[in-house]
Amino acid sequence: MRVDAQEKVVENFNGFLNNTYNQNLEQTFIHGDFGASNILWAPKENRIAGIIDFGGSGLGDPAYDFAGILSSYGEEFFEICTNLYPNGRQISERVHFYRSTFALQEALHGLDHNDQEAFENGIKEFR
């Protein structure tokens, strides 16, 4: 990992963890892997047909699921969603933090499961 990438990761995590607002968040039930690969779309009906893969679900910060939406569908759709969600505008900073961890999580998943492809895919932006 490049030195500047290490410093950025440390800065991001310290900023998030040292924010007292983030230490007292109300946890809700979250999907834990809420993105395009787990949202089944019915194009003929123009609606969501189902949500799959609840293996990562549990109590957590709803901003984590919104980070999956942001990664999958982009800023414009994310803004639409957060405008409809109670206090949605307030979670934006946390959403962007969580999104910034996705590549690193993929690299760590690759290490934990001896999955070289996942590791390389996740670590590439840090090299």
Residue pLDDT, tens place only, 48-59: 999 999 999 999
Is 51 part of a structural domain of the chain?
no
**Residue 71: burial class (beta carbons within 10 Å; 0-12, 13-18, 19+):** middle
Question: What is the structure's pLDDT at 37?
Answer: 95
Is 57 part of a structural domain of the chain?
no
User: How many residues are recorded in the chain?
Assistant: 127
Is 7 part of a structural domain of the chain?
yes
Is 22 part of a structural domain of the chain?
yes
Is 91 part of a structural domain of the chain?
yes
Residue pLDDT, tens place only, 102-120: 999 999 999 999 999 999 9
What is the count of structural domains for the chain? 1
Q: State which residues of the chain have pLDDT below 50.
A: none
Question: What is the structure's pLDDT at 97?
Answer: 96
Question: What is the structure's pLDDT at 74?
Answer: 96
Query: What's the pTM?
Result: 0.88
Distances (CA, A) of 9 to 3, 53, 121: 10, 28, 17
Percent of the chain with pLDDT over 70: 100
Is 117 part of a structural domain of the chain?
yes
Question: What is the structure's pLDDT at 26?
Answer: 87
Beta strands in 3-124 (DSSP E): 28-30, 39-42, 47-51, 58-60
For the chain, what is the radius of gyration of the CA atoms? 16
Question: Is 98 within 8 Å of 64 (Cβ atoms)?
Answer: yes
